[in-house]
Amino acid sequence: MTTAAFEAVGLARSYQLEGVSVDALRGVDLRIEPGEFVAIIGPSGSGKSTLMHLLGCLDRPTAGTLRVNGTDVSTLSDTELAELRNRAVGFVFQSFHLLARTAAVDNVALPLIYRGVPRAERRERARRALESVGLRHRLDHRPSQMSGGEQQRVAIARALVGDPQVVLADEPTGNLDTRNGAEVMAILDRLNAERGVAIVLVTHEPEVAARARRQIQVRDGLIEFDSGTAGGPAEPGGSRTGPAAGEGAGRTGSAEAV
């Protein structure tokens, strides 16, 4: 069996808030293979972002285990965790998270600084990443001078500049109009199909979720439905059967009809 990009067993995360414990994730079992394209859906507050932050090594679980490319994150120091994140994962957020007054090319080159890549090579790689999202003509523009769609493409270029195996995108089209949202989805599609980059994306929009080859529905901190790895052999007693699968499949079916 190949090494999973992510393997979570009993993954849990609680937050302590003024003496009250909030169980944002309550024991998630999940395996995501290299090169998969997965959509995570579910109501607001169900734990989607919490899960993404754990997968992206931006946060640590409070219980359970998570392996990223075979490495159990609990064995890593904070520095090692940051290195793993920098190497393996690119993150795209709903609100772009760019430096507004810094040129696009420098925003994109930023993750390479932490890897000790020399300046000229940083700039060259950032230029190529921007080119791959159709922004060759915007290298020296600042995000504050760009449309939302362009800013999100800069953010995707930044996620890609380090050649990650996985791009995690938390509602990447949430702040975009239909046309720009479709453009961002086309870029993610292409990355997955042509470069084999695994994509895990959170979305509220059924038509966006339908673009993925696997749909996972989260509710109340648990996985309620998982369409399973597309194209792969059905697991024995796998998740395509059973009442939850019927419910979820109906939803996915209607999404595809949009």
Residues lying near ligand ADP in the complex (CB under 6 A) are found at 15, 17, 22, 24, 42, 44-50
With CB cut-offs between 5 and 8 Å by kind, which of Mg ion, ligand ADP, none does residue 17 bind?
A: ligand ADP
> Cα(56)–Cα(111) distance, rounded to whole angstroms?
14
CB of 13 to Mg ion, least distance (A): 13
CB of 49 to Mg ion, least distance (A): 3
CB atoms inside a 10 Å sphere around CB 178: 10
Interface with Mg ion, residue 46, by CB under 5 A: no
CB of 4 to ligand ADP, least distance (A): 22
SS3 for 223?
A: strand
With CB cut-offs between 5 and 8 Å by kind, which of Mg ion, ligand ADP, none does residue 203 bind?
A: none
CB atoms inside a 10 Å sphere around CB 106: 16
Q: Which is nearer to ligand ADP, 47 or 143 (CB)?
A: 47
Q: Which is nearer to Mg ion, 48 or 67 (CB)?
A: 48
CB of 107 closer than 8 Å to CB of 158: yes
SS3 for 254?
A: helix
CB atoms inside a 10 Å sphere around CB 166: 24
CB atoms inside a 10 Å sphere around CB 21: 10
> Cα(47)–Cα(76) distance, rounded to whole angstroms?
24
CA dihedral sign, ordered 88, 63, 1, 36: negative
Count how many residues are written for the chain. 258
Helices 119-132 and 104-113 pack at an angle, to 10 degrees, of 120
Q: Which is nearer to ligand ADP, 48 or 211 (CB)?
A: 48
Q: Which is nearer to ligand ADP, 51 or 210 (CB)?
A: 51
Q: Which is nearer to Mg ion, 16 or 44 (CB)?
A: 44
Q: Which is nearer to Mg ion, 47 or 90 (CB)?
A: 47
CB of 14 to ligand ADP, least distance (A): 9
CB of 216 to ligand ADP, least distance (A): 12
CB of 201 to ligand ADP, least distance (A): 12
Interface with Mg ion, residue 49, by CB under 5 A: yes
Residues found near Mg ion in the complex (CB under 5 A): 48-49
